[in-house]
Amino acid sequence: MTLSSSPSLSTSQRTRAIALNRALLGFVRHWLLIFNLFWGVFVIVPWFAPVLMASGQERAANAIYLAYATQCHQLPQRSFFLFGPQPMYSLAEIQAAWQDTNNPLLLRQFNGNPQMGWKVAWSDRMVAMWTSIFVGGIAYWPLRKRLRPLPLWTFVLLVLPMALDGGTHLLSDFAGIGNGFRDTNAWLAALTGNIFSAAFYAGDSLDSFNSWMRLLTGVLFGIGAVWIAYPHLQEAFTDIAREIEGKFQRAALPV
């Protein structure tokens, strides 16, 4: 909408146009700060679920679990725990504390207990993915004038490990959680000659092969997402800012 004193615009329409353009200009000038604030809230809220559970605020905690259940499977054996003796638990430990089942719909309902602590509202892979986007967004600020967009083929290479890891987990889980080839990783043990401990190969606990792969591939995805998207956003928002500033200058209004 034009900002000039055109007779076709009423005073109220011109005032509204100026206000809308000022709001848009403020957004495009500070888009990175806004994005980082959004991602910061997005990645920290799941950690409040166990904090609220530990403090007896179950209704508020359950609201967070429910909201983030739309983003994640929330399987407890692939999630971090707070306020307990261990940061993660094996499937067998979860089954002993909850139900002797490998049904993911039942397993995901286990949020923890006072003895084991309380589950973060999304899995370790989600923590790695979204937190790395937040950290990458912060790191992008000092690099924004020099960093060029990541080529698409390089982004695909960074995302491919997570696609392979997540895809093989999905295929493995079709055999029943706890019974698939990614649960034992016997193939990896044979490939490496069992040079690592049994705990490294089997299960999903912290420091296991599965845990490391979810964390590392999630971080690669986050780095790639920021590197390919943010330079393009920076360029687009800079162009929009110049266009709006030109409107203000032509209308003899302060920018």
Average pLDDT over residues 91-119: 95
Spatial distance between the Cα atoms of 223 and 147, rounded to a whole number of angstroms: 13
- The answer to whether 87 and 80 have CB atoms below 8 angstroms apart is yes
**CA atoms of 193 and 175, how far apart (whole Å):** 25
Per-residue DSSP letter, 121:
E
Please report the pLDDT score of residue 212 as a whole number.
96
Condensed to tens digits (0 to 9), the pLDDT of residues 39-48 reads: 999 999 999 9
- pLDDT, tens digit (0-9, with 9 covering 90-100), for 137-194: 999 999 988 889 999 999 999 999 999 999 999 999 998 898 999 999 999 999 999 9
Enter the DSSP assignment of 2: -
C-alpha span between 121 and 184 (Å, rounded): 26
Q: pTM value?
A: 0.88
In whole angstroms, what is the distance from residue 210 CA to residue 147 CA? 33
Average pLDDT over every residue of 11-31 = 87
Closest CA to 34 of 24, 19, 20: 24
